[in-house]
Amino acid sequence: MKITYLFWIIISLAVCLGIIVLVVKLMAKKAPAPLKKSPVHYARISSHDDLDDSFMKMYDLPWKPDREYPKSVPEEVEKVIDTIESISPIVTEMSSRLGDPDINPKEISKLIITDQGLTSFILKRVNSPYYRLAQKVDNIFNAIVILGYNEIYRIVMEERTSRIGIKPSREEWVHANLTSTIAAYLSGTSRIGVQGGIMVTLGMLHDIAKTVMEKSLAPPEGEFSIDPRERLRQETELYGIDHAALGGILARRWQMPERLIKAIEQHHWPMFWPVREIGQVSGDTVKELAILSISDIAAKNYLKQNIFGSYIGDDYYRFIKKQPKIESIITPEISRDLNRIKLMGGFTDPDTSEQPDASIDRR
Ligand SMILES: [Fe+2]
Ligand SMILES: [Fe+2]
pLDDT tens digits along 191-204: 999 988 899 999 99
- Is residue 31 predicted with pLDDT exceeding 60? no
Find out whether 119 and 140 touch, Cβ atoms under 8 Å.
yes
State in Å: Cα 356 to ligand 2 middle.
Answer: 26
pLDDT digit string (tens) for 291-331? Answer: 999 999 999 988 876 564 579 999 999 999 999 888 899 99
Q: How far is the CA of 5 from the centre of ligand 2 (A)?
A: 87
Given a cut of 60, whether residue 225 has pLDDT beyond it is: yes
182 alpha carbon, closest ligand: 2
Please give the model's pTM, rounded to 2 decimal places.
Answer: 0.81
* Centroid of ligand 2 to alpha carbon of 66 (angstroms): 19
Ligand number nearest CA of 242 is 1
Q: In this model, does residue 107 exceed pLDDT 70?
A: yes
pLDDT at residue 135, as a whole number: 92
| In the predicted structure, residue 37 carries a pLDDT above the cut 50 | no
Answer whether residue 163 shows pLDDT above 50: yes
Residue 142 CA to ligand 1 centre (angstroms): 34
Give Cβ neighbours of residue 233 (< 8 Å, ≥ 6 apart): 63, 65
Per residue in 134-154, pLDDT (tens digit) is: 999 999 999 999 999 999 999
133 burial level (CB within 10 Å; 0-12, 13-18, 19+): middle
pLDDT at 360: 38
Q: Quick one: what percent of the chain has pLDDT higher than 90?
A: 63
Mean model confidence pLDDT for the chain: 84
Is the CATH number of domain 56-86+168-363 1.10.3210?
yes
Stretch among 5-9, 49-53, 254-258 having the lowest mean pLDDT: 49-53
Domain ranges of the chain: 56-86+168-363, 88-163
Q: Please report the DSSP string for 4-44 in residue order.
A: HHHHHHHHHHHHHHHHHHHHHHHHHHHSPPPPPPP-GGGG-
Distance 359 CA to ligand 1 centre (A): 26
Question: How close is the Cα of 206 to the center of ligand 2, in Å?
Answer: 6
